[in-house]
Amino acid sequence: MSLPETPGQLRPRPHRAARQRMTARERREQLLDVGRVLFAERGFEATSVEEIAARADVSKPVVYEHFGGKEGMYAVIVDREVQRLTSVLGEALSRPQHPKVTLEQTALALLDYIEAHTDGFRILVRDSPVAQATGTFSSLIGDVATQVEHLLARQFERRRLDPSTAPMYAQMLVGMIALTGQWWLEARSPDKRVVAAHLVNLAWNGLAELQDSPELRTR
């Protein structure tokens, strides 16, 4: 039988488990993960340092200590995503193979990235005052178009077409893939392989030679 509490008697506080202390590197990565999610959800302008700190369960000075503010954090996140996407697209473009297969694998590489790194892609396609000159999705796509330009020029020469038009066609081709990727970011249907197959169908066969049920050669 428990004794009644007397006035002023304090109940013992429940024991709280000690919070595991992170190293500086672990804390930095945790903050970047939190920031990536918030920037993807709310955008740069609508995300505050207070919100980042609260979501990470730290004080505001910790965020400033690691990044100097949300601008510094955003710049790091954008830079990482640009490098990641540049890597996967560059790998697809650099393989020596039939140009149609190169087109297939490049389209799939972008859709794979969107599927695996949705928050990162959502951040890249947003406009932000932090990364106007470099590090934007448009500047990245421009770099990819430059690589595609050289591939197209070689194909044009083989087909006795004017290679000087290759830069224009590279912009058209890469722009089509990029905009389709932005659409699929929200739609997520049909399956990415179906989307890639239809992209290649239009890009490779053209409207005059569209196939009813295109399939990828890539396995």
Each residue of 46-76: pLDDT tens digit? Answer: 999 999 999 999 999 999 999 999 999 999 9
Calculate the dihedral angle through the C-alpha atoms of 50, 52, 57, 58, rounding to the nearest 10 degrees. Answer: -70
Burial class (CB in 10 A: 0-12, 13-18, 19+), 215: exposed
The per-residue pLDDT for 212 is: 86
Residue 217, CB-side half-sphere exposure with 13 Å CA sphere: 13
pLDDT of residue 219: 72
pLDDT more than 70, % of the chain? 87
| Distance from C-alpha of 180 to C-alpha of 196, rounded to nearest angstrom | 9
pLDDT at 6 over 90: no
C-alpha pair distances (Å), 212 with each of 73, 176, 201, 202, 217: 47, 20, 9, 11, 16
First to last CA, the chain: 73
Per-chain mean pLDDT for the chain: 88
> Residues 97, 182: contact at Cβ < 8 Å?
no
Q: How long is the chain?
A: 219
CA distance 159 to 153: 10
Please report, rounded to a whole number, the percentage of residues in the chain having pLDDT higher than 90.
Answer: 69
Q: Could you tell me the domains of the chain? A: 77-209 (1.10.357.10)
pLDDT at 202 over 70: yes
DSSP one-letter code for 163:
G
